[in-house]
Amino acid sequence: MEAESCMTMPTETGISIPHFCELLASIDTVAHPTDGAEFLVSEPPAKSAIPIKVLSKARAGVKNSAIAVMFHGAVNQETRKLPVFYGDQVAKRYGETVTTIAIADPSLRLHKSLLSTWYAGDHEISTQSILRNLFASLDEVFNPSRLLFLGGSTGAHPALYHSREFKNGLCLLANPLPSISNYYEKSVQAYLSHCWPNKVSSDVIGRQVQDNIGTLYAESHHNTVIVLQNSTDPHMCGQVLPFVKNLRDHRKSLFVSEYFENCIGHNYPSDRWMHWVSAAINSAEVDTMAIAKIAAELRMATANNGNNKDRKPTFSTRDIQIADQIANQLN
């Protein structure tokens, strides 16, 4: 059966987390991501709700199938209508074996000028708390083989925050921005003024909402983290490298920085991203080296149209120079 959609419900307070899990369990299949069921999920005393869309549902015969949670990055509300759900490409390719759940940031609703609100919540809804409870329930109810948290840019902030406590959690990131306060001041001030009116920054950032995720990872993390980085991203030195230095358990973390001639700045090539997503899904175990090997094989297979699979990868002088610069930053 197809689960009921709750986006048209008469109130904005949403359904409970247990009810959402019941409805998710009742979905047999999703023919196409555009046909996915949409829900509003919340917990009291919130006055608003989190939009969630089930983009794919693993078929019944797949035991302990993986769950992929998708977070979007910045949203230009002049060109895109809310809510925004990210993850169609993953759902289309792996929908039969992976349950794909896209989550939209509810705080963007508060003003059309907002680009990012980090899934950090606002004066009407404690988004971080509700999502934390949601993911704990999904893990308990469905017992997935792995919980995949995928996000890029500001969408990496919630992916890192919520995946940290899961031993079966795999957090795959592209150009992550793990700190709110270390982002553009104009964007941070817009978030504060529209989402937390009549409050000063010191009362919100780092107190009511988690700010720098790197401080949490410096203490510990149970999940596995893979950071994919465009070496020409202007945020790399200020945001990414300080976070990477906090990853203490190198058996459960991997940092991959590359130079892309045709993809400069705060962007990441979609084909390379999908190589890593495919590897994260298809790897027999949640192991960074195993996943990296599969991603490299997919990259070479794509580059060579499936031929010369034994050819060794080559590195340009520019690649080596960038690697040296990164190593100096981390030391």
User: pLDDT tens digits, residue range 48-62?
Assistant: 999 999 999 998 877
CATH number of residue 94's parent domain = 3.40.50.1820
pLDDT of residue 256: 97
Share of the chain above pLDDT 70, in %: 88
Residue 300 and residue 305: Cα distance in Å, rounded? Answer: 8
Which secondary-structure segment (H or E) carries 322? helix 317-330
Q: Does pLDDT of 73 surpass 90?
A: yes
Tell me whether residue 181 is in a domain.
yes
Mean pLDDT of 192-196: 96
**Tens-place pLDDT, residues 113-144:** 999 999 999 999 999 999 999 999 999 999 99
Residue 98 has φ and ψ, to the nearest 5°, of -130, 135
**Tens-place pLDDT, residues 286-305:** 999 999 999 999 999 988 76
Which residues, 6+ apart, have CB-to-CB distance to 36 below 8 Å? 30, 53, 54, 55, 56, 85, 91, 102
Which residues, 6+ apart, have CB-to-CB distance to 78 below 8 Å? 112
Tell me whether residue 240 is in a domain.
yes
Which residues, 6+ apart, have CB-to-CB distance to 43 below 8 Å? 16, 17, 126, 129, 130, 133
Tell me which residue of 151, 140, 146, 147 sits closest to 25, measured CA to CA: 140
Which secondary-structure segment (H or E) carries 130? helix 127-142
Tell me whether residue 323 is in a domain.
no
Tell me whether residue 58 is in a domain.
yes
For residue 32, give its domain range. Answer: 17-298
Residue 328 and residue 89: Cα distance in Å, rounded? Answer: 36
Q: pTM of the full predicted structure?
A: 0.88
State whether the Cα torsion 133-135-137-139 is positive or negative. Answer: negative
Tell me whether residue 45 is in a domain.
yes
pLDDT of residue 5: 39
Tell me whether residue 142 is in a domain.
yes
Tell me whether residue 272 is in a domain.
yes
Q: Does pLDDT of 269 surpass 80?
A: yes
Q: How far is CA 202 from CA 67, 107, 129, 192, 251, in A?
A: 36, 19, 19, 10, 36
Rounded mean pLDDT of the chain?
89
pLDDT band at 329 (very low <50, low <70, confident <90, very high): low
Mean pLDDT of 98-103: 97
Tell me whether residue 65 is in a domain.
yes
For residues 33 and 112, the model is more confident at 112
Q: How many domains does the chain fold into?
A: 1
